[in-house]
Amino acid sequence: MTGGDAGSTADTPSSESNPNTKPAVETSTFGNQDRKWTRATSPTDEGLCDVVMAADGPYIVGDEGTILTYRDRWEGILRHGPTTNSNALCGAAASADGRHVWVAGNSGVLGQYDIDTSQFTDYSAPRGITNNWTDIAAVGMSGEEALYVVDDSGHVLRGVNNGGDVTWDEPQTPGDGSDITSVVFTDEAGFLCDTNAGVYETTDDGDTWDRIGIEEAGPDFTDIAPARRDAISVSCDDGTVFRYDGTNWTNRYIGEEALCAIDRNTDTGLLCGEDGAIYEQQQGRWERQPTPIEETLHGIAIGTEYPSVAVGEDGTIIEYV
């Protein structure tokens, strides 16, 4: 597929014929003795890379263009990704109202799923760019989102959705060209991190990016999770978490496992990584939680109306239920 500002659409199973029946579970407070991390029945053995919460529940993306969601069970909703070329999907994001789910991955693959119409629209190769997208952020309500996709060559590409017609700016390179592993926005600002210990912030919707750390950090940064502009956490591949308070960076060694993903809100935080490791933030400390798996986990999302979910190798899905 060539770059598509307007996009092409594909039908997917109707949400009316397959209603989301996942029970709402409040999981913003952990430690409930009646809940635990439980392995879910997965419909795939492909590696899973990321998970995002939308208005009707969690969505998972992974290798071979895998896209999963939960209706009465975990199931695929599109074969072989937006382009049908089975390119790996590395990142997922939802609009502010959770009605659009955006996915991005290798070879410039980019697409949007509308949960109301059960349709996918292919926006792959924006501006003709076919780099490997590593993550995506969506800011604003469905149909008028600002989109930010990042790649393994240090580029950030911003687009604006105007009712299905996406206009893309020229790509930027905030750092030295290192692999950007994560991009996330709060109401106040946007943040990204890379594999050369770079953390960058934008306060003007991505017009400019300023480096805010981290000098002589050492490890590769794998994910970034801002709860607020003065409460930012970065996970690392050596088991370390860096925390920023708006002025200073501090680091804490969490464990021996490489940490692959982190999610935070104002109440709590979750980390995941190698050997099935999940850590929960409890009163400022990260405590390892029991899990029923040993597979590496690559993505994690805190649930509020739905159970928290972590995903990883060999189609692994675990839920906090």
DSSP 94-138: E-TTS-EEEEEEGGG-EEEEETTTTEEEE--SGGG----EEEEEE
pTM: 0.90
> Could you tell me the residue range of the domain that residue 292 belongs to?
8-320
Considering its fold, how many domains does the chain have in total?
1
State how far Cα 57 lies from the chain centre.
14
Q: How many CB atoms lie within 10 A of CB 2?
A: 8
**pLDDT value for 30:** 54
As given in the structure block, the two tokens for residue 255 are: 């464990």
36 burial (CB, 10 Å; 0-12 / 13-18 / 19+) is middle
231 burial (CB, 10 Å; 0-12 / 13-18 / 19+) is middle
Rama region for 229: left / alpha / beta (φ>0; ψ in -120 to 50; rest): alpha
CA gap 131, 134 in Å, rounded: 9
**pLDDT value for 132:** 98
Q: How many CB atoms lie within 10 A of CB 155?
A: 19
287 located within any domain: yes
3 located within any domain: no
Give, for all 321 residues of the chain, the pLDDT tens digit: 333 334 444 444 433 333 333 434 344 445 566 899 999 999 999 999 999 999 999 999 999 999 999 999 999 998 899 999 999 999 999 999 999 999 999 999 999 999 999 999 999 999 999 999 999 999 999 999 999 999 999 999 999 999 999 999 999 999 999 999 999 999 999 999 999 999 999 999 999 999 999 988 889 999 999 999 999 999 999 999 999 999 999 999 999 999 999 999 988 999 999 999 999 998 889 999 999 999 999 999 999 999 999 999 999 999 999
| CATH of residue 205 | 2.130.10.10
Are the beta carbons of 239 and 254 closer than 8 angstroms?
A: yes
1 located within any domain: no
284 burial (CB, 10 Å; 0-12 / 13-18 / 19+) is exposed
**pLDDT value for 32:** 60
Are the beta carbons of 168 and 155 closer than 8 angstroms?
A: no
2 located within any domain: no
